[in-house]
Structure 1
Amino acid sequence: MKIRHKALCCIRRADTFLFTVRHDGEPPATAFLIPPGGMIESGEEPGDAATREALEELGCDIHAWEFLGVQVDEFIFRGERCRETVHIFASALPPDACIGSHMRESNGDVHPLRWFTTDQLEACGLPVYPLGLPEVLNRYVASH
């Protein structure tokens, strides 16, 4: 089983959050939505990983993260069993930030970016990962 520790960056603009559209393999693969983010490096704090990932993948320098929780998920991705410990962070999009229509991962993979309200996430018909994230984001929105 592959074990991973990730930091997810739930970036908010007005009443929407930024998500990447991913696929679990080569076509015809299942599409799903997940916020930008990535692996926590050895010795790195989860919040520092969120800052690094936002800068690397989106070009956004964000340091004011609000910790929303940790979730452990087990799933099969591209035929491999995985267990992820996901540290979920949220922040407002900085006023001077400019987000493009795609993001590039450090391995060169390019993924489209889309902004969704939590209602749109629930109605879009695509799985949202980690499971239960729309409810976490609804609680975040209600508290701000």
Structure 2
Amino acid sequence: MHCSRCGAALPSAPPSVCAACGYHVYVNARPTSGLIIHRDGEFLALLRAREPRAGLWELPGGFCDGAEHPADAAVREAREELGVDVELGELVGMYPGTYDYQDETLLVLDCIYLASLAPGASITLDPAESAEMAWFPIAAPPAMAFTTMDHALTDVQKLLVP
């Protein structure tokens, strides 16, 4: 690994201090936002259409832009991936995980929110993102593409399943 400020070799993997310029190098998680859209004891899952983990179920969501608040990112991602507005509920939790991208394993912090579809909403999937959608029982979710989503669904069962 090299210093992102001066390019010198680092003495160790981050967190580390560059011996050449004294810059403190950290590897911080990238924030993401996801949604557990629920109705009548079920939640909406999407079948991933692209790598990583194409062909596996996931929650709608994605990376936060710049200084975008995760709640705003969740609402934006619903519009982009589903073509709908959602009524954002409470934060279920924040889950550290990884995401494989461009031959690199990125650290992520997934912020997962409860949500419901706005009245009269009609979902239109973005085919570049999702091959299909399905509603699954919150009490019996399928294995998800990312373990952070499995953990969030386990936590939301405690909130929503009697």
**What range is the shorter-chain TM-score in?**
0.7 to 0.9
| 2:139 corresponds to 1:119 | yes
Task: Write the mapping of 1:93-112 to structure 2, written as runs, cut at 5 A.
Answer: 93-100=117-124, 103-104=125-126, 108-112=128-132
Specify the code of the residue in structure 2 equivalent to 1:18. L
Displacement of 1:2: 9.3
Match of 2:112 in 1: 88
Higher relative contact order (CA 8 A, sep 6+): 1
Secondary structure of the residue aligned to 1:68 is strand
Identify if the C-alpha distance between structure 1 residues 76 and 141 changes in structure 2 by more than 3 Å, giving closer, same or farther: same
- 1:4 paired with 2:24, answer no
| Identity between Structure 1 and Structure 2 (%) | 24
The residue number in structure 1 matching 2:46 is 20
In structure 2, the residue matched to 1:34 is 58
CA contact (8 A) 2:33 2:73 kept: yes
Change (3 A) 1:64 1:22: closer
CA contact (8 A) 1:18 1:116 kept: yes
Q: Report the equivalent of 1:70.
A: 94
By how many angstroms is 1:89 displaced?
0.5
Q: Which ranges in structure 2 are unaligned for 5 or more consecutive residues?
A: 1-26
> Displacement of 1:115 after TM fit?
0.9
Q: TM-score, normalised by structure 2?
A: 0.68
Distance in 1 between the 2:129 and 2:59 partners? 15
Q: Following TM superposition, by how much is the alpha carbon of 1:23 offset from its aligned partner in structure 2, in angstroms? A: 6.3
CA RMSD across the alignment: 2.8
The letter for the 2-side match of 1:104 is D
SS of aligned partner of 1:138: helix
Q: TM-score normalized by structure 1? A: 0.75
Unaligned runs of 5+ in 1: none
Structure possessing the higher radius of gyration over alpha carbons: 2
CA positional deviation for 1:22 = 2.0
State the alpha-carbon separation in 1 of the partners of residues 79 and 48 from structure 2: 19
